[in-house]
Amino acid sequence: MTLPGSPHVAYRGGELFVEDCALGRLARRFGTPLYVYSRSAMLAALAGYQRALAGRDHLICYAMKANSNLAVLQIFAQAGCGFDIVSGGELERVLAAGGDAAKVVFSGVGKTRAEMARALEAGVACFNVESESELELLSQVAVQVGRTARISLRVNPDVDPKTHPYISTGLKGNKFGVAHERAVATYRRAATLPGIEVAGIDCHIGSQITETGPYLDALDRVLDLVESVEAHGITLHHLDLGGGLGITYTDEQPPAAEALVKAMLARIDTRGHGHRKIVLEPGRSLVGNAGVLVASVLYLKPGGAKNFCIVDAAMNDLMRPAMYEAWMSIVSCTLRDEPPQTMDVVGPVCESGDWLGRDRHLAVQPGDTVAVLSAGAYGMSMASNYNTRGRAAEVMVSGAQAWLIRDREAPADLFRGEHLLPR
Protein backbone atom coordinates (compact mmCIF):
# COMPACT_ATOMS: atom_id res chain seq x y z
CA MET A 1 0.00 0.00 0.00
CA THR A 2 1.38 3.42 -1.01
CA LEU A 3 0.98 6.01 1.71
CA PRO A 4 0.96 9.78 1.19
CA GLY A 5 3.61 11.88 2.87
CA SER A 6 6.94 10.78 4.32
CA PRO A 7 8.83 7.65 3.18
CA HIS A 8 9.75 7.24 6.84
CA VAL A 9 6.17 5.99 7.47
CA ALA A 10 5.60 2.62 5.78
CA TYR A 11 4.21 -0.89 6.16
CA ARG A 12 6.48 -3.85 6.86
CA GLY A 13 4.88 -7.27 6.91
CA GLY A 14 1.44 -5.82 7.55
CA GLU A 15 2.58 -3.59 10.43
CA LEU A 16 2.83 0.20 10.13
CA PHE A 17 6.22 1.62 11.11
CA VAL A 18 7.64 5.08 11.70
CA GLU A 19 11.32 4.61 10.91
CA ASP A 20 12.13 1.31 12.66
CA CYS A 21 9.40 1.51 15.31
CA ALA A 22 6.11 -0.35 14.89
CA LEU A 23 3.23 1.93 15.80
CA GLY A 24 1.23 -0.88 17.38
CA ARG A 25 4.05 -1.54 19.82
CA LEU A 26 4.43 2.16 20.61
CA ALA A 27 0.69 2.32 21.31
CA ARG A 28 0.93 -0.56 23.77
CA ARG A 29 3.99 0.99 25.44
CA PHE A 30 2.83 4.61 25.72
CA GLY A 31 -0.96 4.38 25.35
CA THR A 32 -3.26 6.27 23.00
CA PRO A 33 -4.01 8.85 21.71
CA LEU A 34 -0.34 9.22 20.86
CA TYR A 35 1.59 11.55 18.60
CA VAL A 36 4.67 9.94 17.05
CA TYR A 37 7.30 11.95 15.17
CA SER A 38 10.22 10.92 12.97
CA ARG A 39 13.46 12.78 13.65
CA SER A 40 14.88 11.62 10.32
CA ALA A 41 11.86 12.94 8.41
CA MET A 42 12.26 16.38 9.99
CA LEU A 43 15.95 16.58 9.16
CA ALA A 44 15.35 15.31 5.61
CA ALA A 45 12.77 18.05 5.06
CA LEU A 46 15.15 20.67 6.42
CA ALA A 47 17.95 19.41 4.16
CA GLY A 48 16.05 20.49 1.04
CA TYR A 49 16.10 24.12 2.21
CA GLN A 50 19.71 23.87 3.30
CA ARG A 51 20.87 22.52 -0.06
CA ALA A 52 19.11 25.29 -1.95
CA LEU A 53 20.65 27.98 0.27
CA ALA A 54 24.18 26.57 0.40
CA GLY A 55 26.71 29.33 -0.25
CA ARG A 56 24.20 32.12 0.41
CA ASP A 57 23.99 34.36 3.44
CA HIS A 58 20.81 33.00 5.00
CA LEU A 59 18.86 32.05 8.11
CA ILE A 60 16.20 29.34 8.24
CA CYS A 61 13.75 30.17 11.03
CA TYR A 62 11.45 27.27 11.90
CA ALA A 63 7.89 28.60 12.27
CA MET A 64 7.33 26.91 15.59
CA LYS A 65 3.57 27.41 15.80
CA ALA A 66 3.36 24.30 13.60
CA ASN A 67 4.75 22.11 16.40
CA SER A 68 6.33 23.63 19.49
CA ASN A 69 7.40 20.57 21.49
CA LEU A 70 10.75 21.24 23.15
CA ALA A 71 12.37 18.18 21.58
CA VAL A 72 11.28 19.30 18.11
CA LEU A 73 12.78 22.74 18.76
CA GLN A 74 15.95 21.10 20.07
CA ILE A 75 16.37 19.12 16.85
CA PHE A 76 16.12 22.23 14.69
CA ALA A 77 18.32 24.34 16.99
CA GLN A 78 21.03 21.69 16.86
CA ALA A 79 20.72 21.68 13.05
CA GLY A 80 21.54 25.41 13.00
CA CYS A 81 18.03 26.83 12.63
CA GLY A 82 16.60 29.96 14.08
CA PHE A 83 12.92 30.33 14.97
CA ASP A 84 9.93 32.35 13.85
CA ILE A 85 7.84 33.12 16.94
CA VAL A 86 4.45 34.78 17.41
CA SER A 87 4.21 35.10 21.20
CA GLY A 88 6.25 35.61 24.32
CA GLY A 89 5.49 32.05 25.33
CA GLU A 90 7.07 30.76 22.14
CA LEU A 91 10.22 32.76 22.92
CA GLU A 92 10.46 31.08 26.31
CA ARG A 93 10.09 27.68 24.62
CA VAL A 94 12.96 28.49 22.25
CA LEU A 95 15.21 29.44 25.15
CA ALA A 96 14.21 26.36 27.16
CA ALA A 97 15.08 24.15 24.20
CA GLY A 98 18.56 25.67 23.85
CA GLY A 99 17.74 27.91 20.90
CA ASP A 100 19.64 31.13 20.21
CA ALA A 101 17.60 34.30 20.70
CA ALA A 102 19.90 36.03 18.19
CA LYS A 103 18.37 33.75 15.53
CA VAL A 104 14.75 34.55 16.43
CA VAL A 105 12.36 36.68 14.37
CA PHE A 106 9.27 37.87 16.24
CA SER A 107 6.14 37.95 14.06
CA GLY A 108 2.47 38.43 14.96
CA VAL A 109 -0.08 41.23 14.78
CA GLY A 110 -0.68 41.66 18.52
CA LYS A 111 2.65 41.87 20.34
CA THR A 112 2.19 43.32 23.82
CA ARG A 113 4.44 45.84 25.54
CA ALA A 114 5.64 43.10 27.93
CA GLU A 115 6.42 40.74 25.06
CA MET A 116 8.39 43.44 23.27
CA ALA A 117 10.42 44.23 26.38
CA ARG A 118 11.22 40.56 27.03
CA ALA A 119 12.24 39.99 23.40
CA LEU A 120 14.53 43.03 23.49
CA GLU A 121 16.06 41.80 26.75
CA ALA A 122 16.65 38.35 25.23
CA GLY A 123 18.23 39.90 22.12
CA VAL A 124 16.03 38.64 19.29
CA ALA A 125 17.36 39.17 15.78
CA CYS A 126 14.40 41.08 14.37
CA PHE A 127 10.80 42.12 14.92
CA ASN A 128 8.51 41.59 11.93
CA VAL A 129 6.36 44.67 12.45
CA GLU A 130 2.78 44.34 11.22
CA SER A 131 1.27 47.81 11.73
CA GLU A 132 2.21 51.46 12.07
CA SER A 133 0.86 51.59 15.63
CA GLU A 134 2.99 48.58 16.58
CA LEU A 135 6.04 50.39 15.20
CA GLU A 136 5.35 53.43 17.38
CA LEU A 137 4.90 51.31 20.52
CA LEU A 138 8.04 49.27 19.81
CA SER A 139 10.02 52.49 19.57
CA GLN A 140 8.71 53.60 22.95
CA VAL A 141 9.48 50.26 24.59
CA ALA A 142 12.97 50.09 23.10
CA VAL A 143 13.81 53.55 24.43
CA GLN A 144 12.42 52.67 27.86
CA VAL A 145 14.53 49.51 28.18
CA GLY A 146 17.61 51.04 26.58
CA ARG A 147 17.78 48.66 23.64
CA THR A 148 17.59 48.96 19.86
CA ALA A 149 14.86 47.02 18.05
CA ARG A 150 15.90 45.74 14.65
CA ILE A 151 12.81 45.63 12.45
CA SER A 152 11.41 44.42 9.18
CA LEU A 153 8.02 45.48 7.96
CA ARG A 154 5.76 42.59 7.11
CA VAL A 155 4.26 43.77 3.85
CA ASN A 156 0.88 42.58 2.63
CA PRO A 157 1.35 42.15 -1.15
CA ASP A 158 -2.32 41.36 -1.94
CA VAL A 159 -1.39 38.06 -3.62
CA ASP A 160 -3.80 35.10 -3.58
CA PRO A 161 -1.95 32.00 -2.30
CA LYS A 162 -4.80 29.74 -3.52
CA THR A 163 -5.22 27.96 -0.20
CA HIS A 164 -7.88 27.70 2.52
CA PRO A 165 -9.23 31.19 3.43
CA TYR A 166 -8.43 30.66 7.12
CA ILE A 167 -4.71 30.24 6.33
CA SER A 168 -4.44 32.89 3.62
CA THR A 169 -2.51 35.85 5.03
CA GLY A 170 -1.41 38.02 2.10
CA LEU A 171 -4.67 39.49 0.77
CA LYS A 172 -6.05 42.98 1.40
CA GLY A 173 -8.85 41.56 3.54
CA ASN A 174 -6.45 39.74 5.89
CA LYS A 175 -5.38 41.14 9.25
CA PHE A 176 -1.68 40.63 8.63
CA GLY A 177 1.00 43.04 7.56
CA VAL A 178 1.28 46.64 6.39
CA ALA A 179 -0.63 47.47 3.22
CA HIS A 180 1.60 47.54 0.15
CA GLU A 181 0.71 51.17 -0.61
CA ARG A 182 1.63 52.27 2.95
CA ALA A 183 4.97 50.47 3.12
CA VAL A 184 7.29 53.21 1.85
CA ALA A 185 5.79 55.85 4.15
CA THR A 186 6.01 53.46 7.10
CA TYR A 187 9.67 52.71 6.38
CA ARG A 188 10.39 56.43 6.21
CA ARG A 189 8.72 56.86 9.60
CA ALA A 190 10.68 53.93 11.03
CA ALA A 191 13.96 55.49 9.93
CA THR A 192 13.22 58.55 12.11
CA LEU A 193 12.15 56.76 15.28
CA PRO A 194 14.45 56.39 18.32
CA GLY A 195 15.25 52.86 19.37
CA ILE A 196 14.48 51.47 15.88
CA GLU A 197 16.95 50.10 13.33
CA VAL A 198 15.59 49.16 9.91
CA ALA A 199 16.99 45.74 8.97
CA GLY A 200 14.90 44.20 6.19
CA ILE A 201 11.54 43.43 4.68
CA ASP A 202 9.20 40.52 5.36
CA CYS A 203 6.39 38.85 3.42
CA HIS A 204 4.32 35.76 4.25
CA ILE A 205 1.24 35.03 2.15
CA GLY A 206 -0.24 31.91 3.74
CA SER A 207 0.08 28.23 4.50
CA GLN A 208 -0.35 24.92 2.67
CA ILE A 209 0.60 26.60 -0.62
CA THR A 210 1.10 24.05 -3.39
CA GLU A 211 2.13 26.25 -6.36
CA THR A 212 5.25 28.26 -7.13
CA GLY A 213 3.41 31.09 -8.89
CA PRO A 214 2.06 32.91 -5.81
CA TYR A 215 5.53 32.98 -4.25
CA LEU A 216 7.08 34.56 -7.34
CA ASP A 217 4.23 37.06 -7.68
CA ALA A 218 4.67 38.15 -4.05
CA LEU A 219 8.45 38.25 -4.43
CA ASP A 220 8.22 40.61 -7.40
CA ARG A 221 6.03 42.98 -5.41
CA VAL A 222 8.44 42.83 -2.47
CA LEU A 223 11.44 43.58 -4.68
CA ASP A 224 9.56 46.52 -6.21
CA LEU A 225 9.13 47.86 -2.69
CA VAL A 226 12.78 47.27 -1.80
CA GLU A 227 13.81 49.44 -4.74
CA SER A 228 11.31 52.15 -3.77
CA VAL A 229 12.40 52.16 -0.12
CA GLU A 230 16.09 52.29 -0.95
CA ALA A 231 15.44 55.20 -3.33
CA HIS A 232 14.71 57.15 -0.14
CA GLY A 233 18.12 56.29 1.33
CA ILE A 234 16.93 53.46 3.61
CA THR A 235 18.97 50.27 3.30
CA LEU A 236 17.26 46.88 3.60
CA HIS A 237 19.80 44.22 4.49
CA HIS A 238 17.66 41.08 4.36
CA LEU A 239 14.70 39.63 2.52
CA ASP A 240 12.42 37.54 4.73
CA LEU A 241 10.36 35.50 2.29
CA GLY A 242 8.21 33.73 4.88
CA GLY A 243 7.16 30.12 4.58
CA GLY A 244 3.89 28.35 3.93
CA LEU A 245 4.99 25.59 1.56
CA GLY A 246 2.39 22.83 1.56
CA ILE A 247 2.76 19.10 2.11
CA THR A 248 1.07 16.02 0.71
CA TYR A 249 -2.01 14.98 2.69
CA THR A 250 -3.65 13.06 -0.15
CA ASP A 251 -2.90 13.86 -3.80
CA GLU A 252 -1.39 17.36 -3.50
CA GLN A 253 1.83 17.86 -5.45
CA PRO A 254 3.60 20.86 -3.92
CA PRO A 255 6.99 21.81 -5.33
CA ALA A 256 9.98 20.40 -3.50
CA ALA A 257 11.46 22.90 -1.07
CA GLU A 258 14.77 22.87 -2.92
CA ALA A 259 13.11 23.60 -6.27
CA LEU A 260 10.93 26.38 -4.84
CA VAL A 261 13.81 28.13 -3.10
CA LYS A 262 16.04 27.90 -6.17
CA ALA A 263 13.29 29.45 -8.30
CA MET A 264 12.97 32.33 -5.83
CA LEU A 265 16.73 32.83 -5.64
CA ALA A 266 16.93 32.92 -9.44
CA ARG A 267 14.31 35.68 -9.51
CA ILE A 268 16.17 37.59 -6.79
CA ASP A 269 19.47 37.32 -8.68
CA THR A 270 17.91 38.29 -12.00
CA ARG A 271 16.60 41.48 -10.45
CA GLY A 272 19.96 42.37 -8.92
CA HIS A 273 19.29 41.60 -5.27
CA GLY A 274 21.53 38.58 -4.83
CA HIS A 275 23.72 40.36 -2.27
CA ARG A 276 20.98 40.40 0.37
CA LYS A 277 20.65 37.94 3.24
CA ILE A 278 17.74 35.52 2.80
CA VAL A 279 15.49 34.57 5.71
CA LEU A 280 12.92 31.78 5.37
CA GLU A 281 10.23 30.71 7.86
CA PRO A 282 9.15 27.13 6.99
CA GLY A 283 6.88 25.35 9.43
CA ARG A 284 4.43 22.75 8.14
CA SER A 285 6.82 21.57 5.43
CA LEU A 286 9.44 20.64 8.05
CA VAL A 287 7.23 18.69 10.44
CA GLY A 288 3.86 17.91 8.83
CA ASN A 289 4.71 14.64 7.11
CA ALA A 290 7.02 13.64 9.98
CA GLY A 291 4.19 12.94 12.45
CA VAL A 292 1.24 10.61 12.92
CA LEU A 293 -1.54 10.48 15.49
CA VAL A 294 -2.22 6.95 16.75
CA ALA A 295 -5.67 6.15 18.16
CA SER A 296 -7.36 3.02 19.49
CA VAL A 297 -10.64 1.79 18.05
CA LEU A 298 -13.25 1.80 20.82
CA TYR A 299 -16.44 0.77 19.00
CA LEU A 300 -17.83 0.07 15.55
CA LYS A 301 -21.31 1.53 15.32
CA PRO A 302 -23.53 0.80 12.30
CA GLY A 303 -26.13 3.44 11.50
CA GLY A 304 -29.01 4.02 9.12
CA ALA A 305 -27.14 6.53 6.96
CA LYS A 306 -23.55 6.15 8.23
CA ASN A 307 -21.29 3.60 9.82
CA PHE A 308 -19.03 4.94 12.55
CA CYS A 309 -15.61 3.94 13.81
CA ILE A 310 -15.34 5.52 17.26
CA VAL A 311 -11.74 6.05 18.37
CA ASP A 312 -10.16 7.53 21.50
CA ALA A 313 -8.67 10.53 19.65
CA ALA A 314 -10.94 13.49 19.08
CA MET A 315 -11.20 17.04 17.80
CA ASN A 316 -9.44 18.29 20.91
CA ASP A 317 -6.42 16.18 19.90
CA LEU A 318 -6.54 17.08 16.19
CA MET A 319 -8.47 20.19 15.25
CA ARG A 320 -7.68 20.40 11.53
CA PRO A 321 -10.59 18.26 10.21
CA ALA A 322 -13.22 20.08 12.29
CA MET A 323 -11.75 23.55 11.81
CA TYR A 324 -10.74 23.44 8.14
CA GLU A 325 -12.64 20.35 6.94
CA ALA A 326 -9.16 19.07 6.19
CA TRP A 327 -8.70 15.65 4.60
CA MET A 328 -6.11 13.53 6.41
CA SER A 329 -5.28 9.94 5.53
CA ILE A 330 -6.34 7.36 8.15
CA VAL A 331 -4.96 3.82 7.99
CA SER A 332 -4.86 0.75 10.18
CA CYS A 333 -1.67 0.10 12.12
CA THR A 334 -2.08 -3.64 11.46
CA LEU A 335 -3.50 -4.85 8.16
CA ARG A 336 -6.38 -7.35 8.44
CA ASP A 337 -7.19 -9.97 5.82
CA GLU A 338 -10.84 -8.98 5.56
CA PRO A 339 -12.82 -6.61 3.34
CA PRO A 340 -12.84 -2.96 4.41
CA GLN A 341 -16.02 -1.17 5.47
CA THR A 342 -16.93 2.42 4.70
CA MET A 343 -17.24 4.45 7.88
CA ASP A 344 -16.72 7.85 9.45
CA VAL A 345 -13.87 7.97 11.97
CA VAL A 346 -15.08 9.99 14.95
CA GLY A 347 -14.05 10.72 18.52
CA PRO A 348 -15.75 10.77 21.94
CA VAL A 349 -16.19 14.57 22.19
CA CYS A 350 -19.81 15.70 22.54
CA GLU A 351 -19.96 17.61 19.23
CA SER A 352 -21.17 16.56 15.79
CA GLY A 353 -18.07 18.32 14.48
CA ASP A 354 -15.90 15.77 16.27
CA TRP A 355 -14.69 13.78 13.30
CA LEU A 356 -11.25 12.86 11.99
CA GLY A 357 -12.27 11.43 8.62
CA ARG A 358 -15.44 10.84 6.63
CA ASP A 359 -16.27 7.89 4.37
CA ARG A 360 -13.03 6.01 5.00
CA HIS A 361 -12.46 2.42 3.93
CA LEU A 362 -11.04 0.50 6.88
CA ALA A 363 -10.81 -3.11 8.00
CA VAL A 364 -10.66 -2.73 11.77
CA GLN A 365 -12.14 -4.17 14.94
CA PRO A 366 -12.43 -2.78 18.49
CA GLY A 367 -9.01 -2.88 20.15
CA ASP A 368 -7.14 -2.20 16.89
CA THR A 369 -5.14 0.97 16.37
CA VAL A 370 -5.34 3.40 13.48
CA ALA A 371 -2.96 6.18 12.43
CA VAL A 372 -3.85 9.62 11.12
CA LEU A 373 -0.99 10.43 8.77
CA SER A 374 0.76 13.75 8.13
CA ALA A 375 -0.26 14.98 11.58
CA GLY A 376 3.04 16.53 12.64
CA ALA A 377 1.93 20.12 11.99
CA TYR A 378 -0.96 21.93 13.68
CA GLY A 379 -1.93 18.78 15.54
CA MET A 380 -0.60 18.86 19.07
CA SER A 381 0.12 22.60 18.84
CA MET A 382 -3.63 23.29 18.41
CA ALA A 383 -4.81 20.65 20.89
CA SER A 384 -7.10 21.61 23.76
CA ASN A 385 -8.64 20.19 26.91
CA TYR A 386 -12.24 20.43 25.71
CA ASN A 387 -14.53 18.01 27.60
CA THR A 388 -11.79 17.89 30.27
CA ARG A 389 -9.74 15.56 28.10
CA GLY A 390 -6.03 15.35 28.76
CA ARG A 391 -3.80 16.09 25.82
CA ALA A 392 -2.02 13.20 24.15
CA ALA A 393 1.47 11.95 24.89
CA GLU A 394 4.19 12.64 22.32
CA VAL A 395 7.03 10.35 21.23
CA MET A 396 10.07 11.01 19.04
CA VAL A 397 11.66 8.12 17.14
CA SER A 398 15.05 7.85 15.51
CA GLY A 399 15.77 4.49 13.93
CA ALA A 400 14.69 1.86 16.45
CA GLN A 401 14.84 4.25 19.42
CA ALA A 402 11.78 5.96 20.87
CA TRP A 403 11.69 8.68 23.52
CA LEU A 404 8.71 10.05 25.40
CA ILE A 405 8.95 13.81 24.81
CA ARG A 406 5.69 14.85 26.48
CA ASP A 407 3.75 13.12 29.22
CA ARG A 408 0.08 12.38 28.79
CA GLU A 409 -1.98 14.81 30.84
CA ALA A 410 -3.81 13.42 33.87
CA PRO A 411 -7.11 14.89 35.15
CA ALA A 412 -5.33 16.63 38.04
CA ASP A 413 -3.13 18.45 35.51
CA LEU A 414 -6.21 19.96 33.91
CA PHE A 415 -7.60 21.77 36.92
CA ARG A 416 -4.31 22.62 38.62
CA GLY A 417 -4.45 26.36 39.25
CA GLU A 418 -8.24 26.47 39.57
CA HIS A 419 -9.77 27.38 42.92
CA LEU A 420 -13.01 26.61 44.72
CA LEU A 421 -14.96 29.44 46.29
CA PRO A 422 -14.78 29.90 50.08
CA ARG A 423 -17.35 27.83 51.96
Q: What CATH class does 107-282 carry? A: alpha beta
Beta-bridged to residue 179, according to DSSP, are: 156
CA atoms within 13 A on the CB side of 234: 25
Render pLDDT for 249-278 as a digit per residue (tens, 0 to 9).
Answer: 988 899 999 999 999 999 999 999 999 999
Render pLDDT for 76-132 as a digit per residue (tens, 0 to 9).
Answer: 999 999 999 999 999 999 999 999 999 999 999 999 999 999 999 999 999 999 999
Tally Cβ neighbours within 10 Å of residue 177.
Answer: 27
Render pLDDT for 167-200 as a digit per residue (tens, 0 to 9).
Answer: 444 445 555 678 888 899 999 999 999 999 999 9
pTM, 2 dp: 0.94
Q: Map out the domains of the chain as residue ranges.
A: 9-38+288-414, 107-282
What is the DSSP annotation of 177-197?
SEEGGGHHHHHHHHTTSTTEE
Residue 59: name the closest of 80, 40, 41 by CA. Answer: 80
Alpha-helical regions (H) of 277-317: 284-287
Beta strands in 43-164 (DSSP E): 58-63, 82-85, 104-106, 126-129, 149-156
pLDDT at 163: 46
Is the distance from CB of 104 to CB of 83 less than 8 angstroms?
Answer: yes
pLDDT at 160: 58
- Tell the CATH superfamily of the 9-38+288-414 domain: Lyase, Ornithine Decarboxylase; Chain A, domain 1 (2.40.37.10)
Q: Is 350 a catalytic residue?
A: yes
Sort strands 308-311 and 291-301 into parallel, antiparallel or unpaired: antiparallel
pLDDT at 303: 83
% of residues, the chain, pLDDT over 70:
95
Give the helix/strand (H/E) hosting 133: helix 132-145
- DSSP-based three-state secondary structure for 96: helix
Is the distance from CB of 317 to CB of 383 less than 8 angstroms?
Answer: yes
Tally Cβ neighbours within 10 Å of residue 300.
Answer: 16
21, 309, 333, 350: the active-site residue: 350
